[in-house]
Amino acid sequence: MGKVKKEILISKPKIDDRVQRLADEISRDYEGKELVLIGILKGAFVFMADLIRCLRIPCEVDFVRLASYGTGTVSSGNIMITKDIETPIRGRDVLIVEDIVDTGLTLYFLVDKLKEREPESLKVCVLLDKKERRKVPFEAEYVGFDIPDRFVVGYGLDFNEMYRFLPDVCVIEEN
Ligand code: 5GP
Ligand code: MG
């Protein structure tokens, strides 16, 4: 990419408001329970950090790192776990936290893998959802924002490891 144009798609105040409401919903749904939150590295770390501080239920936190073969901005579908969680999840209530669902391949794979470990329940919370891009049927139980088919960065999301630090979710385009 040469010169890049940045445009705010979702501002930090809007994200804050939505994250609080997601956390309220999750706290209600899991009242009296103890959650294991599993963040997908690296993109979800900012969202995860904000989300847990808005929850009103006790939770444990762990992270998984996935890799898909092939580079660029499109998932290839050949996915593997490069860093597994360290928390046993059998019989636990588990919530996967992810920055964005696009083709659905990543979460389809991870949900399938984690189900093998027989959690009591397994749900998914994503900040962003590009529904029109699905290659496999996948629906998250908690969705922050539906967004159009544009490449976004910021609030943890990167382009070649850049822009994760931006507080807003932004669209980038080559000039
Ligand atoms: P999926 O397997 O659903 O196609 O892809 C999910 C992963 O693709 C996300 O975790 C993220 O790493 C990456 N991804 C998909 N769309 C975007 C986007 O617009 N911006 C960024 N930074 N990553 C994206
Ligand atoms: Mg990701």
For each of the chain's 175 residues, which pLDDT tens digit applies? 567 788 999 999 999 999 999 999 999 999 999 999 999 999 999 999 999 999 999 999 999 999 987 655 555 568 999 999 999 999 999 999 999 999 999 999 999 999 999 999 999 999 999 999 999 999 999 999 999 999 999 999 999 999 999 999 999 987 7
Among the bound ligands, the one closest to the CA of 42: 2
Q: Which helix (H) or strand (E) holds 96?
A: strand 93-101
> Best substitution site from 45, 75, 103 to test ligand 1's pocket, by max atoms within 8 Å of Cβ?
75
Question: Which residue in 156, 149, 131 sits closest to 51, CA to CA?
Answer: 156
Q: Taking the model in full, what pTM does it have?
A: 0.94
Instruction: Please identify every residue annotated as catalytic.
Output: 102
- Please tell me the residue having the least CA distance from ligand 1 atom 10: 100
Looking up tokens 């999750």, which residue turns up? Answer: 26
Question: Which strands make up the sheet holding 169-174, listed edge to edge?
Answer: 4-10, 169-174, 152-153
